Structures are given as structure tokens and as C-alpha cells.
Amino acid sequence: DAKTTQPTSMDCAEGRAANLPCNHSTISGNEYVYWYRQIHSQGPQYIIHGLKNNETNEMASLIITEDRKSSTLILPHATLRDTAVYYCIVRVINDYKLSFGAGTTVTVRA
């Protein structure tokens, strides 16, 4: 039973911002939103996570709506190397479980 809904695929232009949406309408107060990505032939790479506040790091920004039912991952200046499957995951605060859904296949085009 999927806890998140993401578009199957999306394209974005190199050098532009990429905005990746995720719906998690049944999220609980004790669940984080995590984002990972998986570049072809590599393992999943941690990007960012948040509970209710917006977060930013050197890779991306995470915007979580006030009701926490959806979020957007922003890659500020997409490059060809950002082409990957992006996974939005809802994870209980003290749980070991990291349950991957189908993810969004993002293709960055020159």
C-alpha cells in the first residue's frame, strides 16, 4: 500500500530548476518525508528529508505544504547528471523501514 504518489516521469531542461511533486495525503505527525535518487547502475543516493519545515542543502530544496499532505523537491539548476529515478518516501521517525515506491523517472535534456 503506497504512502506516496509521484508522477511516473518528467523531463526538464538543463540549467533550469526541476520541481518534483509528491503527494502524501495520509502522512502522520510522526512521519518524515525523505527523498532519494538512483542514477542508472548506482545505489540510491540520499538527497534530503524534512518533517514540517522547508529544508535546503547543497543538493536540493524541499518544500512541504503547511498541511503536510504534499511536498516538492527542487533541483535549482538541473544538469545532465541529475537524470535519475527520484523516490519520495514517507518514514516513521523511529522506524527502520524505508519503503520505496515506484518513483519519478527524471530526464534532463540539453
Partner 1 sequence: DTEVTQTPKHLVMGMTNKKSLKCEQHMGHRAMYWYKQKAKKPPELMFVYSYEKLSINESVPSRFSPECPNSSLLNLHLHALQPEDSALYLCASSPRQGSGHQPQHFGDGTRLSIL
C-alpha to C-alpha distance for 87 and 32, rounded to whole angstroms: 13
Task: Look up residue 13 and give its DSSP letter.
Answer: E
| Matching residue, cell 518516501 | 89
Instruction: Please state the closest distance from residue 26 (CB atom) to partner 1, in A.
Output: 17
Instruction: Please state the closest distance from residue 7 (CB atom) to partner 1, in A.
Output: 15
Instruction: Please state the closest distance from residue 59 (CB atom) to partner 1, in A.
Output: 12
Which residue number, 43 or 67, has a Cβ lying nearer to partner 1? 43
Which residue number, 67 or 94, has a Cβ lying nearer to partner 1? 94
Task: Look up residue 29 and give its DSSP letter.
Answer: T
* Contact of 22 with 106, CB cutoff 8 Å: no
Give me the residues that bind partner 1 (CB under 8 A), please.
Answer: 32, 34, 41-46, 49, 51, 87, 91-103
